[in-house]
Amino acid sequence: MQEKNERGLWLELLRLMIKIRRVEERLLEVFAQGKVPGFIHVGIGQEAVPAGIGSILRPDDFVLTTHRGHGHAIAKGLDLKRFMAEIFGRVDGYCRGRAGSMHMASAEWGVVGSNGVVGGGIPTALGTAFASQFQGTDQVTVCFFGDGATNEGTFHESLNLAALWNLPILFCCENNGWAEFTPLPVHTKLQRLSVRADSYGMPGITIDGNDVLKVREEAGRAVDRARRGEGPTLLECLTHRWFGHFAGDAQKYRDPREIEEVRKFDPILRFQKFLFGRKALTEGDIEKMEAQIRMEIDEAVAFAEKSPVPGKESIGQEVYV
C-alpha cells in the first residue's frame, strides 16, 4: 500500500512536470504564430521546482510568483482553460485578460500574483503570510523569485521582516544562473545565495533544483515548519533556464555551448530514468500521460481562442471597487 501510494505520487510529480513543459512549449508555439499579445517568459528546464513545491501545497495556501511563473500557477492548481484564456488576453481568463502571462492571479487558488517587476511581489508575500498569522490559520505562503531578484531591496527588506515576525513563508529562489541577460557572476559576488538567510536569522539551504524529489522533500520540511509557526525559510533551488529571458530572445549574450549543456540537466528525463530504475514507469505510462496532457492543452487553447477579446467598455471597469 505504502509503495503504491509512493508510485502514485511519483507519477503525479512526473505528470505535473510534463504538463508544465508541454504547456510552455505550446505557449512558445502560439506566441510564434502571433496569437498571444505582449511577451511571455518560459521556465522550460526548471519544472522540478514548481512541481515539487506545488505537490506539497494545499489549495488554501498562497503563492507569489514572477514574470516566469506559468509553472507555479499550474502547479498550484489553476484551471488550464482559464489560464490559457488569460495568456491570450481574453475575457474568460482569470483576470479578464488584463494580466496576461506576466501578471496572472487567481484568488480562488491563492495565487496572489505573478509580477512584472523583479522583486516586486516579495513584499506582498509578507502580507498574505501576516494575514494567516493574524487570523490564526496554518496557511503557508510560498514566494518564488529568481537569482536576479535577490539584489533588489525588497528581497532584503522582506526577509528581515519575515524572520523578525516569524511569518509562515517559504522564500524559494530559483537560481537559474541568469538575471535576464546577465549571468550570476556578473551580478552577485556570492555563489550560494542561500547563505544570505543567515544574516536575517532564518534557515537557508541550497539544493539541486532539478531533482523533483529533493525539492519536494526540502520544501516540505520548510512548509511544515512554517505551518507549525516556526517561521520562514530561504530555499535556493539550483536550476537551468533553457531558453532566453523572453520568448524570441536570440540569446546572443550566451555561449551556445552553455545553452546546449544545460539540457543535460533535464529534470523530466532524470526523473523518468529514476522511475524506470524503480520499475515504477513504463513507456506506455508516458505515452498515456503525454496524450492526456496534449488533449488538455488542445482543449485549453481552443477555449482561449474562442473566448472573446475584452470590449472597450471593460477598459474603465474595476479601477475602483
For binding to other proteins (CB under 8 A), which residues are involved? 64, 93-99, 103, 105-107, 112-113, 115-117, 120-132, 134-135, 141, 153-154, 157-158, 160-161, 164, 317-321
Residue 100, C-alpha cell as written in the block: 496576461
The least CB distance from residue 155 to other proteins, in Å, is 10
The least CB distance from residue 106 to other proteins, in Å, is 7
DSSP structure string for 10-67: HHHHHHHHHHHHHHHHHHHHHHHTT-S-S-----TT-THHHHHHHTT--TTSEEE--T
d(CA 201, CA 164): 8
Specify the residue, 250 or 321, whose C-beta has the smaller distance to other proteins. 321
Specify the residue, 112 or 262, whose C-beta has the smaller distance to other proteins. 112
Three-state secondary-structure class, residue 234: strand
The least CB distance from residue 109 to other proteins, in Å, is 11
Specify the residue, 110 or 209, whose C-beta has the smaller distance to other proteins. 110
CB 110 within 8 A of CB 60: yes
Specify the residue, 55 or 115, whose C-beta has the smaller distance to other proteins. 115
Specify the residue, 165 or 274, whose C-beta has the smaller distance to other proteins. 165
Three-state secondary-structure class, residue 285: helix
Helix or strand (DSSP H, E) at 103: none
The least CB distance from residue 92 to other proteins, in Å, is 10
The least CB distance from residue 227 to other proteins, in Å, is 17
Three-state secondary-structure class, residue 195: helix
What's the distance, CA 84 to chain centroid?
16
Q: Is 233 exposed, middle or buried (0-12, 13-18, 19+ CB in 10 A)?
A: buried
The least CB distance from residue 212 to other proteins, in Å, is 28
Helix or strand (DSSP H, E) at 182: strand 182-183
Specify the residue, 107 or 269, whose C-beta has the smaller distance to other proteins. 107
